[in-house]
Structure 1
Amino acid sequence: MIKKTINKLLNIGFDDEFGNDLNQKHVVNFSYMMFCASCLLMLVVFSFRQMSSVAIFSLIGLLIGIVGLRYNYIGHFSRAQLLMPILKISQVSILSLFYFGTESGFHWFFVNVIAYSFVVFRADQRFIKCWVVGISIALFLLCELLNTRGMYLTTFDQSVVIIFVFFALSFNFAMVINLVMSRLKSVNTHLRTLAERDELTGLSNRRKVLADAVNIFADSVINRESCVFSIVDLDHFKKINDTFGHEAGDLVLSKVSTTMASVIRPQDEIGRYGGEEFIVIMPNTTLKEAEVVMEHMRQSVEDLLIETEHGIVIPVTISIGLASIAPTVSRYEEILAQADRGLYAAKRNGRNRLSVQSDYQT
């Protein structure tokens, strides 16, 4: 529940899960949440202490921080992006020089502003980044050189603030690093999915399904388990393209793929081999069991009612070749070749059927 709430807050105003600048947007939202939380904390503490000037200053900061979050929510990211360092620089400068004093160590929050600049501003915003970093460094050095004492903090308060600054900086850096790393993991997972999925059918593409074939074949040989490979081909697919057009052909491929994926078992793997051909890999399965599954698939495809946007119904059938691992088979390519011969046998015998190759032939 907490994680979902945090993710929802971080994604305020953003719909694209894999946008190029999503990492920067997350950091901006997080920075505003931290800024508003710190303003709210100071508002409560200094209101309780009846220090109205600091409380009013904190309230103004809180309201402007909410405006920044509002900018993000309505899609004005560039405004929110730039407003944050201005807010933070103003807050840290005023509190360090006029309220808390430099002995409190509050000016070390300029480090947050510098880190924010390097993470949030893009390469084409180098000018803004340099100005923000330069101003932050200059003000930090100014605070170090002036060495002023605060009017609103006792010696004990200053010690507490130093501890607070340390933990706040540590938490901020930890969260920013976590956001960046989580974003990288998310993008890598998304890219891997794009690299392994066929865009049209949503199934594994040729590279992925063949990689699965290698792994399943090796596991079956090592564990001495039965395994069945199947090649599926749409009947007269070229005629469908020529008669109804390529858009109708794409529709047929999409619908048939969805149907085939829905009838195989959870442990089975299916992928697009190329064109209108598909591979189904069934680990720990006998030929008889595989025949039942694939016959169900053949019948399900035959029963499909595929209708184009013009109301044309396209009849579709598939032919299937099956082959199981034999003791003489040493490579998965051999079992695939055997299943391919079964497919051509099904084609020769009239299509819309399956053909089993039970013995390896040289």
Structure 2
Amino acid sequence: MFSSIKRIIDKWLNIGFEEEFENDLNQKHVVNFSYMMFCLSSLLMVVVFSLREISSVAIFSLIGLLIGLVGLRCNFIGHFSRAQLLMPVLKISQVSILSLFYFGTNSGFHWLFVNVIAYSFVVFRADQRFVKFWMVCASIALFLLCELLDTRGLYLTSFDQGVVVIFVFLALSFNFAMVINLVMNRLKSVNRHLRTLAEMDELTGLSNRRKVLADAVNIFADSVINRDSCVFAIVDLDHFKKINDTFGHEAGDLVLAKVSAMMASVIRPQDEIGRYGGEEFIVIMPSTSLKQAEMIMESMRQAVENMLIETEHGIVIPVTVSIGVACIASSVTRYEEILAQADKGLYVAKRNGRNRVSVQSDYQN
């Protein structure tokens, strides 16, 4: 149930925002949430005071609801600055008028100014410090005014005022909990994104050297502990320098991207692949025999050989790869030793004419 509610809230908060990692996405979420809470509370007051036949408060709340919906729409259609500024003005106006002229200061309704202060600090950026300053000052000044004045509510009984105090407490608690949750989720999302960027090769979309070597360490350690088979392969594009020199570096980048996508589609879900550097790639195959690995790498070699990579000028670039394969052995103590053996296999494949898979059988089980 709670997960369903969370998904619905997330869906509403993201309406109108397509880019997941916009710099001001967190502020937009808080603005959306603030408008939704404002509209919901205004709708609640419209219903309650209409049923109690207190038309002036109902009409005032209805006007606030309509303006809140306008602000919400502004945020949805991309007019973020307008929506951002309208929200605190709308909230300050509502809380001030209801506290001083309708509910009375004894109702504690003016404590909702705290929401405006929190909103100002979260939503307004450093270059909007002037607006932030005045919103915070206005909220504090009006809060102190309500505290100093002793006005009686025209439409609330003592019991009603107690209910309003409870409502204000719950509203403040929920607002702070949601805003903190939004900020924390945003930070987690950005951290995950930054971690992904730090571990991904930008051109190919594969794991970069640091990430694939870290995976190699972990997979190698698990294989040693579990006494399981593990195979490493080094893949190298044949005559890549010639491709760059003949067709240009843009064509070379295209080849790297296309070949990387093809190789990633050929390997199994449990395998790892990453760019080792330049036109070299590492494939790590846990729980795999040398024979199985050779078959997988042969499928990869054939898939690359059969590719038709065409530049924007209609030039078809033929591409092949050479692959060296090596398997873990009982005498191996470091993953670098398997990589060294795979590199020897790659050297043999190139020396024997390229476009082939060479298995370093010294480590065969």
Paired with 1:358 and 1:101, the residues of 2 have a C-alpha distance of: 88
Matching residue's letter, 1:174: A
2:315 to 312, 317, 326: 312
SS in 2 for 1:254: helix
Q: Contact 1:102 / 1:150 at 8 angstroms: preserved in 2?
A: yes
2:104 matched to which residue of 1?
101
Structure 2 match to 1:114: 117
User: 2:291 corresponds to which residue?
Assistant: 288
TM-score (norm. length: structure 2)? 0.97
Indicate the residue corresponding to 2:351 in structure 1: 348
What is the distance in 2 between the residues matched to 1:337 and 1:215? Answer: 17
Q: Say which of 48, 51, 55 aligns to 2:51.
A: 48
Describe the superposition over 1:167-202 as per-residue Cα deviations: whole angstroms up to 9, x where unpaired. Answer: 111000000000001100110111111111111111
Distance 1:13 1:323 in 2: 51
Q: 1:223-302 alignment to 2 at 5 Å?
A: 223-302=226-305
- Residue among 141, 153, 156 paired with 1:138: 141
Superimposed CA distance per residue, residues 321-362 of structure 1 (whole angstroms, 9 cap, x where no aligned partner): 00011112111111101100100000000000011112259x
How much has 1:284 moved relative to structure 2? 0.9
Partner of 2:215: 212
2:362 is paired with a residue whose SS is coil
Q: CA RMSD for the aligned pairs?
A: 1.2
Unaligned runs of 5+ in 1: none
Mapping for residues 23-42 of structure 1, pairs under 5 Å:
23-42=26-45
Aligned length: 361
Residue segments in structure 2 that go unaligned for 5+ positions in a row: none
- Provide the residue aligned with 1:359 in structure 2: 362
Output the amino acid matched with 2:142: L
- Measured in 2, the distance between the counterparts of 1:250 and 1:137 equals 58
Residue 168 (1) aligns with residue 171 (2): yes
Show the counterpart of 2:12. Answer: 9
Aligned residues of 1:326 and 1:359 also touching (Cα < 8 A): no
19, 23, 32: which one pairs with 2:22?
A: 19
Conserved 8 A contact 1:12-1:72: no
User: 1:205-233: per-residue Cα shift (whole Å, max 9, x none)?
Assistant: 00100000000001111111110000000
Equivalent residue for 2:152, pick from 149, 152, 155: 149
Q: Which residue of 1 aligns with 2:341?
A: 338
Inter-partner Cα distance in structure 1 for 2:153 and 2:359: 87
2:75 is the alignment partner of 1:80: no
Percent sequence identity over aligned pairs: 84
Structure 1 stretches of at least 4 aligned residues deviating more than 6 Å after TM superposition = none
Measure, in 2, the Cα distance between the counterparts of 1:286 and 1:216: 15
Give the match's secondary structure for 1:298: helix
- Counterpart of 1:179 in structure 2 is 182
Partners of 1:214 and 1:337 lie apart in 2 by 14
**Would you say 1:92 and 2:95 are equivalent positions?**
yes
